Structure formats: C-alpha cells, structure tokens
C-alpha cells in the first residue's frame, strides 16, 4: 500500500456522503470522521496530531419534535469556532457542498474565513487535485515558518529561506497554468525598478521578496473563479478582491517580512484612488506597492490569461502603461519601468 498523502478531517453528518468520500479516498488519505461539532473539536484537541486539511459540510439535518427534517447552516458556526482558535489558523478549511449551495459557499469564503469550496458531486480527480493543493500549501507554510525561525536563530541561511519563498510562490502560480513563472517575473522587474529609484539594498530585497509573494492570497480563490474564461459576476469579483487581505493573513506570522506585508495588501491600488482594498490615492499608496502594480500589470498584459488567450506585445503593453500613467499607475514608476 502506498503512503497516505495527508490527514483529512471530514466533518459531515450524512452517512451516504461519508461512505462515498471514504470509498473514493480511503487509499489516498488518512480520513478522520466527525459527525457533529463535539466530535470535530475532539479531533482538534491534540495539537501535536492535527489534520492537514478540514472538509466541512455547510448544511446539517436537524429533526423537529414532530419528526420533520430540515437543513440548517450549522457548519458556519463550526467554521467560526475553528477560525477563532489561533493555533488552528494554518489548517485550511474547505467547504464541502453540493453544487446548488455554491452561492452560500462563496459568501462564506468572502466573509467567514474558509479557504475554498469543493462540490460533493464533483469528479474524484477534481476533488483530489484541490485537496492535494491545499495540503501542499499548508506544508509549505509550515516549512516557511520553520525556516524563518531558523533564520532568526542563525541556523539557516538567507539563501535557503529565499528558496522556500520561491517554492511557495511556485505553488501559488501552479494553481493556474497561465501564470506559471508570474511571481518570479514580477519580482525581477520590481527589483530592477526599485534599484532605479535608488532605494536601500534592504528595501530592494524586501520589494523583490514581496514580489514573489504578492499573490499568495490567490491560493484561496476557487479554481472555477480563478480560471473562469468569461466575465466574472459581481459576487465572484468580490472573492477575487479579497486576495490581498488573505495574503496579509497568510504572511503575518512570518516575522522576517512582517514590516513589508502592507505592500501585499495594497498591490491592487490605483493611482487615482479607484483601486482596492483601501482606495488609497497617489503617494498615499506605498512606493513598493506602486512598483508592484506596474510590474504585475505588465506581466499580466504580456502573458496568456483565461480571459485573454493572446498576450499583448511588449510594445503594446508599454503603451498601455503610458496611456494609464497618472490614472491606474504612478507616472514616476512608469517612467522608471520604461
């Protein structure tokens, strides 16, 4: 028997769904079942033996005194309690729902702190891909935290720490084959622009590092939104807009880069104040973020994307930067970039 890929805590009250999941994945993962809130937190009590991922059903069946069965979103209350425990913050919680509950799942991702959602009626390969991706992300986060601790204690080198950051960036980019290598290219261009501004070497290194990690919050965007070829609905775009803040939450425990993670939060601001999440305008936007906006946008324009198969030429992309200088982009940054 091959080695199990990770530990899944499956929080589900319906036996048929439990049987289907165990039938599909009993050979791939160590599956722990919790049929109610009490069993869920019993499984999470031993902090030295926590699961790699939690699959959580939203709607639970309750029976009235008259015997009438109704479905209630009790899973949301469990999610809130999990997220309230700081020691559990690194465990990804995935909403496990039927396709008809997708709207509720997106709302919970946006407001409740869940990382993703998986359809119960999805294919086995799709489910496994999403579960494996989140397990890999959690382990990279754990390794990043450990290497950062060793760096502080001088038990590892800055080079080794930087390699772990690159691996984390590659895991983010791997969610979308259109963005393969995106983070490294953004980091490279951002570093060069920062150098042209004459910033201190520590600032240049910080901007390069954040360039690698600027999209870390996208790890929590469901694939059906991130890879959608057509226009996003308003609700879907609200999920997209959440990724800078999610990135900050993911990176905050890393002391080594904590003073720079505001650059992640503000890398979608626009110079005229119409960006997100804070609507900052002009030089109120941190210089590092203004640099990242230009580098990120240039790479997006010159790469294939789900919504645009044919990338722009370098010349057309640079013209776009010039045309939007003073509105979307800082004119000084555009001048240094060009």
Active-site residue numbers? 218
Q: How far apart are CA 324 and CA 296, in angstroms?
A: 14
C-alpha torsion sign, points 190, 193, 197, 201: positive
Token pair recorded at residue 70: 């109704």
Contact, 286 vs 268, CB < 8 A? no
Cβ atoms 246, 217 nearer than 8 A? yes
Q: What angle do CA 82, 85, 91 make, to 5 degrees?
A: 60
Q: How far apart are CA 11 and CA 32, in angstroms?
A: 8
Pick the closest to residue 53 from 102, 17, 108, 96 (CA basis): 96
- Structural Rg of the chain based on CA atoms: 22
33 φ/ψ angles, rounded to the nearest 5 degrees: -105, 135
Residues in the chain: 338
Q: Is 245 exposed, middle or buried (0-12, 13-18, 19+ CB in 10 A)?
A: middle
The residue written with tokens 């030089």 in the block is 283
Query: CB neighbours (10 Å) of residue 88?
Result: 17
Question: With contact defined as beta carbons under 8 Å apart, do 235 and 103 qualify?
Answer: yes
Candidates 34, 39, 29, 37; CA nearest to 11 is: 34
Who contacts 30 (Cβ-Cβ below 8 Å, separation ≥6)?
4, 6, 7, 8
Structure tokens belonging to residue 281: 């305008």
């Amino acid at each position: 028997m091959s080695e199990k890929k990770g530990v899944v805590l499956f929080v589900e009250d319906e036996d048929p769904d439990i049987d289907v999941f165990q039938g599909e994945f009993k050979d791939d993962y160590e599956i722990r079942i919790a049929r109610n809130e009490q069993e869920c937190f019993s499984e999470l009590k031993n902090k030295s033996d926590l699961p790699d991922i939690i699959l959580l059903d939203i709607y639970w069946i309750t029976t009235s005194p008259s015997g009438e069965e109704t479905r209630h979103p009790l899973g949301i209350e469990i999610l809130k309690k999990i997220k309230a425990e700081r020691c559990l913050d690194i465990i990804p919680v995935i909403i496990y729902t039927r396709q008809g509950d997708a709207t509720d799942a997106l709302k919970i991702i946006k407001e409740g702190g869940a990382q993703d959602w998986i359809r119960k009626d999805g294919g086995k390969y799709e489910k496994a891909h999403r579960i494996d991706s989140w397990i890999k992300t959690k382990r990279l986060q754990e390794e990043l935290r450990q290497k950062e601790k060793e760096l502080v204690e001088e038990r590892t080198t800055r080079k080794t720490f930087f390699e772990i950051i690159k691996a984390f960036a590659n895991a983010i980019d791997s969610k979308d084959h259109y963005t393969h290598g995106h983070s490294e290219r953004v980091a490279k261009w951002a570093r060069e622009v920062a150098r042209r501004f004459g910033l201190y070497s520590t600032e240049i290194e910080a901007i390069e590092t954040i360039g690698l990690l600027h999209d870390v919050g996208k790890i929590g965007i469901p694939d059906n939104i991130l890879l959608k070829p057509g226009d996003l609905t308003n609700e879907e775009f609200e999920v997209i807009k959440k990724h800078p803040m999610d990135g900050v939450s993911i990176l905050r425990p890393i002391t080594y880069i904590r003073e720079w993670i505001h650059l992640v939060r503000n890398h979608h601001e626009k110079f005229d104040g119409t960006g997100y999440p804070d609507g900052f305008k002009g030089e109120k936007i941190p210089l590092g973020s203004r640099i990242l906006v230009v580098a990120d946008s240039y790479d997006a324009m010159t790469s294939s994307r789900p919504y645009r198969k044919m990338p722009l030429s370098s010349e057309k992309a640079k013209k776009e930067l010039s045309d939007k200088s003073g509105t979307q982009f800082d004119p000084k940054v555009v001048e240094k970039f060009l």
